[in-house]
Amino acid sequence: MKRHLAAHLVILVATCCLLLSADFAFPKPAAAKRRSAAPAASATKDEEPCKAYLIMEANSGKILEEQNMHEKRAPASMAKLMTACLVLERIAKGEIHLTDKVPVSREASKIGGSQVYLKEGEVFTLEDMMRAVVIASANDAAYAVSELVAGTSRSFVDLMNDKAKALGMNDTEFYSVHGLPPSKDQKEDVTSCYDMATLARETLKYPKIIEWTSAKTGEFRGGTFKLNNHNKLLSRMGEVDGLKTGYYRSTGYNVVATAKKGDIRFIVVVMGSPTARGRDNLALEKLKKYFSEYAVISVAKKGDQVNKEVVLADGRYRKLKGVVAADLNLTLLRERRKDIKRVVSLPPSVKGEVKQGQKLGELLFQLDNEVVGRVDIVSPAYVPKANLFTRMVRRVGLNI
């Protein structure tokens, strides 16, 4: 009996040693493998700051850097920038006014998402509504404004698409006035980084947009409702003064931002970022980089004489040196300042009398054989026609 117990004890000890040995291991359950792989997948996602981005020099519209700038993506609330553009355009034309009263329809009062909780029958000024739209991204206010401008939200969407087409926003199709996720019977708004930068550049023609988009906070309902700007870049970089953010789950975090330092203004667009912080960090990185590398360079001054004569076929004077029609400043890499080439473009001759300020040709500025700027060359004075005899002699090639 003792021998049997001893034998069993030996077997038990040997089995335990085998289980504890480094050379033996049970296979891990599939679930354990999936958990161990999760951190790596998460890290990969975090490393991708966005799906697409670009940075544009606002004055010229030149793209300085981009990734997937024509990839079609949902803009979310960045669509409201088109709403603002159309409103400002009509204000400039005198068709509507910021003091106009905007009534709240039943449909507008039922729009969800970011809102200022409008009630059917309420009335606010257009400026109050636009501040709610631009600062707080209020969907209900955007809907109410669209009805004021176009009668119905559907008609306003048509205006949005007409404007997009006119601006060459070929990646864009709007189906809503606010950018909310589509309902079952609705298509999703689509645009691209390039198109949003194009829209931002157009909207910046109206100074009022910066007054609205640069405000970190605002008031509604006579100060009883506080508007908070979703664009946190305003607090992270003093030069940032606009424009619009956008987010919902399937499209990610988006922003079309602008910043001005001295005479330089940049537009940066980031789309499809997995986090708001990642989106903002990328936008700030690009803005800081290009502000440090670029400068505004004066390449021509109004009234400067052009060192090349134009022949006046019929003028009292035989030849004339034109002058630069306007100041011209270019935003360029600081290190490329000395590489700018001036090219005077004038016709062989100018017929008839020449009026003061009449365009004679152009002064071009080239960098790497690309025209980066141009300004008109004009006549500094009035030159009447020569008499008939003088004109006839000139035409047979005599110089008098």
Structural domain includes residue 193: yes
What whole-number distance in Å separates Cα of residue 370 and Cα of residue 336?
A: 13
Q: What is the pLDDT of residue 234?
A: 98
Is residue 282 classed as helix, strand or coil in its secondary structure? helix
Residues 174 and 314 in one domain: no
What whole-number distance in Å separates Cα of residue 187 and Cα of residue 208?
A: 31
CB atoms within 10 A of CB 372: 18
Which of 294, 309, 342 is the endpoint of a domain? 294
Residues 152 and 77 in one domain: yes
What whole-number distance in Å separates Cα of residue 41 and Cα of residue 29?
A: 19
Residues 6+ positions from 127 with CB-CB distance below 8 Å? 98, 99
What's the number of CA atoms in the CB half-sphere (13 Å) around residue 56?
A: 24
What whole-number distance in Å separates Cα of residue 195 and Cα of residue 256?
A: 10
Helix axes 80-92, 153-166, angle to 10 degrees: 80
What whole-number distance in Å separates Cα of residue 337 and Cα of residue 42?
A: 45
Model-level pTM?
A: 0.81
Residues 202 and 128 in one domain: yes
Q: What is the pLDDT of residue 390?
A: 66
Q: Do the Cβ atoms of 191 and 82 come closer than 8 Å?
A: no
Residues 348 and 247 in one domain: no
Bridge partners (DSSP) of residue 349 are 311
**Residue 309: pLDDT above 50?**
yes
What whole-number distance in Å separates Cα of residue 361 and Cα of residue 313?
A: 15
Confidence bin at 391 (pLDDT 50/70/90): low
For the chain, list the strands marked E by DSSP. 52-57, 62-67, 101-103, 123-125, 217-220, 225-228, 240-248, 252-261, 264-273, 294-300, 305-312, 319-324, 328-333, 341-345, 349-350, 359-367, 370-378
Residues 326 and 281 in one domain: no
Q: N- to C-terminal Cα distance for the chain? A: 142
CB atoms within 10 A of CB 353: 15
- Looking at the structure of the chain, the number of domains it has is 2
Which of 269, 294, 319 is the endpoint of a domain? 294
Q: Do the Cβ atoms of 19 and 11 come closer than 8 Å?
A: no
**Residue 84: pLDDT above 80?**
yes
Structural domain includes residue 13: no
Structural domain includes residue 12: no
Structural domain includes residue 25: no
Q: Do the Cβ atoms of 40 and 155 come closer than 8 Å?
A: no
What's the number of CA atoms in the CB half-sphere (13 Å) around residue 329?
A: 13
> What is the rounded average pLDDT for all residues in the chain?
88
Structural domain includes residue 161: yes
Q: Which two tokens stand for residue 118?
A: 């409008």
**Residue 395: pLDDT above 70?**
no
What whole-number percentage of the chain has pLDDT above 70? 85
Residues 79 and 199 in one domain: yes
Cα dist from 69 to 63, 245, 287, whole Å: 10, 17, 17
Q: What is the pLDDT of residue 396?
A: 64
Instruction: Determine the average pLDDT of the residues in 92-119.
Output: 97
Q: What is the pLDDT of residue 317?
A: 86
Which of 270, 294, 318 is the endpoint of a domain? 294
Residues 277 and 387 in one domain: no
pLDDT digits over 46-65, tens only?
A: 557 899 999 999 999 999 99
Instruction: Determine the average pLDDT of the residues in 145-164.
Output: 98
Q: What is the pLDDT of residue 294?
A: 96
What is the 3-state secondary structure of 302-332?
CCCEEEEEEEECCECCCEEEEEECCCEEEEE
**Residue 8: pLDDT above 80?**
no
Q: Do the Cβ atoms of 139 and 164 come closer than 8 Å?
A: no
Confidence bin at 157 (pLDDT 50/70/90): very high
Question: Domain containing 196 — which CATH number?
Answer: 3.40.710.10
Q: What is the pLDDT of residue 59?
A: 92
Residues 156 and 263 in one domain: yes
What whole-number distance in Å separates Cα of residue 226 and Cα of residue 228?
A: 6
Q: What is the pLDDT of residue 12?
A: 45
**Cis peptide preceding 227, ω within 30 of 0:** no
Structural domain includes residue 369: yes
**Residue 166: pLDDT above 60?**
yes
CB atoms within 10 A of CB 336: 15
Task: Return the minimum-mean-pLDDT range out of 45-54, 187-196, 204-213, 266-275.
Answer: 45-54
Structural domain includes residue 238: yes
Q: Which two tokens stand for residue 258?
A: 């602008």
Structural domain boundaries enclosing 85: 52-294
Confidence bin at 362 (pLDDT 50/70/90): very high
Residues 196 and 77 in one domain: yes
Structural domain includes residue 46: no
Q: What is the pLDDT of residue 25?
A: 35
**Residue 42: pLDDT above 80?**
no
**Residue 393: pLDDT above 80?**
no
Question: Domain containing 375 — which CATH number?
Answer: 2.60.410.10
Instruction: Determine the average pLDDT of the residues in 84-100.
Output: 98
Helix axes 139-150, 153-166, angle to 10 degrees: 80
